[in-house]
Amino acid sequence: MFDTLSDRLSATFKNLRGKGKLTDADIDATTREIRIALLEADVALPVVKDFIAAVKQRAAGAEVRGGLNPAQQVIKIVNDELVKILGGETREIRFAKRPPTVIMLAGLQGAGKTTLAGKLAKWMKESKHQTPMLVAADLQRPNAVTQLQVVGERAGVPVFAPEPGNGVGDPVSVARQAMEEARTKQYSVVIVDTAGRLGVDDELMKQAADIRDAVTPDEILFVVDAMIGQDAVVTAQAFLDGVGFDGVVLSKLDGDARGGAALSIAQITGRQVMFASNGEKLEDFDVFHPDRMASRILGMGDVLSLIEKAEQSFDAGEAAKTAAKLQKKGGKDFTLDDFLAQMQSVRKMGPLTKIFGMLPGAAQFKDQLENFDEREIDRIEAIIHSMTPAERNDPHLINGSRRARIAKGSGTEVAAVSGLVERFFEARKMMSAMASGKGMPGMPGMPGMPGMGGGKKAKQQAKKGKAKRVSGNPAKRGNPAAAAPQQPAPGELPAAFGGGGAAGGNFQLPDELKGLLGGDSPK
């Protein structure tokens, strides 16, 4: 969603690199570009004005003028101000002192309240160890009750739905009955899904206010479609005045909108964004961290969220066993079964494109990541599952006839089976070296890193690399520019990463990463 904004800000900051000191003209030019970037991202005008004024004031201060690296200082200032307009600190759910905790969802029709109710319930159940119950109080929209029942079943959460909906039943009465049901069956959390309208009207506000008065919610969450831009701010203000809410949930954050709602709504309403829904699956639901979102917008990644996802997906005991296997006997105890288990654990974290997108600097490779073929992982799994236990334990057993049988069983070509086995050996060698602290195979010594400490041999190689080289080609000898290695253009990948073409071309992963990902470069 923030790709366009990130690209514009990155281009703006590049213009500051190499400057020893910022002049007033530099500050004016930079803030002008930032203003244009925010307006193009559909951020509300009052928010843009306050943001630019704050950046300009701090950038003109002594903290930047006396800094050794003005570009980094300006990035820090922009990051700090982005965190502020996104809400500051992370806001968590307030639980009632005496259960059940009641959470009411409000918003327009089509904002994604029903699906989000299931996501929130599943998140509550798994991360907060609560016993939630969903309440079908949207009796107006066709099949809204049925949809909530389906979502509840997928989330493993009970749904209270005494009325069929489709215009039948009183939502206020259903809300009151739900409270009695929750107390009787001792549910710790009640999530009430309410009806919406295509636009803000008196009937919508009255019904929402009546449900609010009937259940006395501990949290009212306003669910807003992040793709509707500045209209989200107008709608949010109307709900705030008519019903009131405590926090905001952004749905459809994985869309291609410009992100203005996320950057405007907290500042305008004074209510923080608490959660973000970024996909169709029930697992595509995250706590909204303003500092991490600001880091993503500025292209610095979100390593903390990546670590949290890894902790949820990887079993600590199994990870320790795998590490032990890689450290012993040169990693020969690490089998294709272990490789498959690791690959499946990585997939639990989500699509690989999203995982790589959390890494610092990934924004410059976003076109290549978007072209990554996730089905390659499915093909690798099919090949490994087509092997016998003995073959998975010792891939050296796989000869020509076995390759043909495995290829036929997995619906692939013999070359694909051979390629997988070769990549597995390369990946095992690399992971074993890293687990043993010997660094990455084939990489020169790097000071300050275990096993890559740049010993005498590495220093000699580095020194040798500085020597002037003379080409054997007379034409190149006469033209030093022709003999010099070509530097990649901005946005182009270096040769070591399959470069030589534009960033949007075929992305050739390094051999080591090919082994880890289990496939060739994306098609």
Annotated binding residues, written as ranges, equal: 107-114, 193-197, 251-254
Contact call for residues 279 and 59 (beta carbons, < 8 A) = no
Query: Residue 132 pairs with which residues in a beta bridge?
Result: 189
86: closest CA among 35, 43, 27, 33? 43
* CB burial readout 495-519, b (16+ within 10 A) else e: eebbbeeebeeebbbeebebbbbbb
- Both tokens of 92, joined, read 């968590």
Q: Pairing relation of β-strands 285-287 and 273-277?
A: antiparallel
AA identity, residue 391: E
* CB burial readout 195-230, b (16+ within 10 A) else e: bbbeebeeebbebbeebbebbebbbbbbbbbbbbbb
Q: Which residues are annotated as a binding site for GTP?
A: 107-114, 193-197, 251-254
| Chain Cα centroid distance, residue 266 | 21
- Both tokens of 363, joined, read 């924004």
Q: For 71, how many CA atoms within 13 A lie in the half-sphere containing its CB?
A: 13
Q: Pairing relation of β-strands 101-106 and 219-225?
A: parallel
Residue with token string 């095992």? 428
Q: How far apart are CA 416 and CA 5, in angstroms?
A: 40
